[in-house]
Structure 1
Amino acid sequence: MDVPNEARADAETAPGLERDMPNCSIARTLEIVGEKWTILILREVWYGSSRFGDFERVLGCPRNLLATRLRKLVEEGVLATEKYKEPGTRSRPKCVITPEGIDLVPAVIGLMRWGDRHCSAPDGSPLLMRHHACGAHVEVRLRCLEGHPVPVEELDRVPGPGFRTKPVERDG
């Protein structure tokens, strides 16, 4: 649906009352990863876990819930399964991260850093992320595609190609 320029201009300044919310990218992402166990599974995959038993042991997540969350991440393309076989055992599946899953790393690191600043224990952050090549700590920062740092106050919200307004309800 092509949105007239006037509606697009209004959408920029209005607090969101006329936007078609089911088309929201944040809401759709949260349908996939917006649950505590899902984010913790992703954390463990990035830390090197790949097997169901590892996730179960480290997370303490109920088996049925863990299986459901892993299945959803595979169905959505965030994780994939591969077979592995230890000597003398049958082959089993392990989880590996996909490129789609890698794209979530900045978001999860952002959550971690927020937690470090606002929710950490008195003795500090439980884990620090460092750049392997130089040893510097890693931060998630907003930058435009030209490479400029962008403070939150300088963000403009403009309708994108998928912007939709709610259908106008007419009294009958």
Structure 2
Amino acid sequence: MKWTSVDLGNCSVLRALGVIGKPWAIAVLREVFNDVRRFEDFQQHLGVSRSVLSRRLNELVDDGLLDRTPYREDGGRERYEYRPTEKAWGLYPVMVGLMQWGDRYLADGDGPPVHLVDRRTGRPVITALVTDDSDVCAPSDIAMLPGPSLRTLPDGG
């Protein structure tokens, strides 16, 4: 299969970027993965404007990445907490990979700001490409085969 013959109108990467490629979307997801739940906490920690944060939270809810749950503190009005959905947790390996890429190529001289470890063993967690039976693959070991929804360009690329 020649990649330049593939119709990118059906590209899963571009579809994903349409959801998580918006400004602040990745940062909001990073926050919810680290147990930040409330609007005020997002706003204070990220320093993003209230209007941008509100828009991004609503979009992430609409896209099925966050669940909005009401809560009310004594004497206060109803507010919302935001919790990651299963769909959002599906992005967690992507976020870890992005973080580890940044650690490797963009960290300051002191090294990475955080390390991820397995809670049970304390061993470092890394991202990897693996087969469905857990064999590690190098990018050069991977072949791309046509899937059921692949479309090609009319002129063949």
Runs of at least 5 residues in structure 2 that lack an aligned partner in the other structure: none
Tell me the distance in 2 between the aligned counterparts of 1:91 and 1:100.
26
**Structure 1 portions without partners, runs of 5+:** 1-11
CA shift, 1:54, in A, is 0.8
Q: Give the deviation of 1:149 after TM superposition.
A: 0.8
What CA deviation, in whole Å up to 9, does each residue of 1:17-41 have, x standing for no partner?
2211010000000000013411010
**Structure 1 partner of 2:107:** 120
Distance in 2 of aligned mates of 1:149 and 1:93: 41
CA distance in 2, matches of 1:114, 1:46: 18
Aligned to 2:29: 42
Matched ranges for 1:1-172 at <5 A: 12=1, 14=2, 16-168=3-155
Q: What is the aligned partner in structure 2 of residue 6 from structure 1?
A: none
Give the ranges of 4+ consecutive aligned residues of structure 1 lying more than 6 Å apart after TM superposition: none
Mean Cα displacement is larger for which, 82-91 or 138-147?
82-91
- Percent identity over the alignment is 35
* Secondary structure, counterpart of 2:80 in structure 1: strand
**Counterpart AA for 1:94:** E
Give the match's secondary structure for 1:28: helix
Summarize the Cα distance change of 1:153–1:19 in structure 2 as closer, same or farther, 3 Å threshold: same
- Structure 2 residue identity aligned to 1:33: I
User: Does the residue aligned with 1:17 lie in a helix, a strand or coil?
Assistant: helix
Q: Structure 1-normalised TM-score?
A: 0.87
Give the structure with higher Rg (CA).
Answer: 1
Q: Report SS of the residue matched to 1:96.
A: strand
> Compared with structure 1, are the counterparts of its residues 137 and 36 closer, same or farther at alpha carbon in structure 2 (3 Å cutoff)?
farther
